[in-house]
């Protein structure tokens, strides 16, 4: 795999509180057509969840999100993460992600951050927080002067707003949580997660 942006139109952004939920949740998402799964490093269970998915759901492409430090990079890749996503970046974090051997999406929210990454040879980025940072109009404005930059908008993206993002020439996929409603996760209603994932997977990159 060389690009996170080409795996699926939607990358589920998953917060796992109990590592025992990781495998059935991943299987539901994959069955619904969403093979790329970003497990955020926001909970103590995250690394165990990544290990479990990597070991038991081979058809999933599990990655780590909320990567904030070189230590996070090492821990995530060691656990089996096949891609990395950060909400922002520093030179130290970027160097660690580059050296990890897996694809990565450093986070940006301003034009200057995009230009700085392009200067460093990085063309694929996470746009975060997408809605708060200007949404579709902002990314559309960047396509003219910076056509080489491509994005995965995440943060406030919904089933309703995702098609407008995916229609942009500089968007490869979107990240979202709407296929993972809190009540479904609490009830371990994996069938509902699969249904919502299938709906998301049907969105067109037009």
pLDDT at 206: 54
pLDDT at 2: 83
DSSP state of 103: -
113-130: pLDDT as tens digits = 999 999 999 999 999 999
Residues of the chain with pLDDT under 70: 205-206
161-192: pLDDT as tens digits = 999 999 999 999 999 999 999 999 999 999 99
Active site residues: 38, 126
Calculate the alpha carbon distances from 48 to 45, 73, 188 in Å: 5, 15, 18
Give, for 131, the enclosing helix (H) or strand (E): none
**37-47 per-residue burial string, b: 16 or more CB within 10 A, e: under 16:** bbbbbebebbb
Would you state the structure tokens that stand for residue 10, as one six-digit string?
């939607």
Contact predicate 138/118, CB 8 Å: no
DSSP state of 153: E
pLDDT at 135: 98
Would you state the structure tokens that stand for residue 128, as one six-digit string?
């975060």
pLDDT at 127: 98
């Amino acid at each position: 795999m060389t690009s996170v942006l080409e795996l699926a139109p939607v990358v589920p952004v998953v917060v796992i509180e109990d590592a025992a939920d990781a495998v059935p949740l991943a299987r539901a998402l994959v069955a619904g057509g969403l093979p790329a799964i970003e497990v955020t490093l926001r909970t103590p269970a995250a690394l165990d969840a990544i290990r479990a998915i990597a070991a038991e759901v081979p058809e999933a492409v599990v990655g780590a999100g909320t990567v904030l430090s070189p230590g996070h990079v090492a821990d995530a890749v060691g656990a089996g993460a096949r891609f990395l996503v950060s909400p922002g970046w520093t030179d130290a974090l970027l160097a660690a992600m580059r050296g990890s051997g897996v694809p990565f999406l450093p986070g940006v929210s301003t034009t200057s951050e995009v230009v700085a990454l392009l200067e460093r040879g990085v063309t694929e980025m996470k746009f975060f927080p997408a809605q708060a940072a200007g949404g579709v109009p902002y990314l559309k404005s960047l396509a003219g002067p910076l056509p080489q930059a491509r994005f995965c908008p995440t943060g406030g993206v919904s089933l309703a707003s995702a098609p407008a993002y995916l229609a942009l020439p500089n968007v490869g996929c979107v990240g979202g949580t709407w296929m993972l409603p809190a009540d479904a996760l609490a009830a371990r209603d994996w069938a509902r997660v699969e249904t919502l994932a299938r709906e998301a997977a049907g969105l067109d990159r037009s």
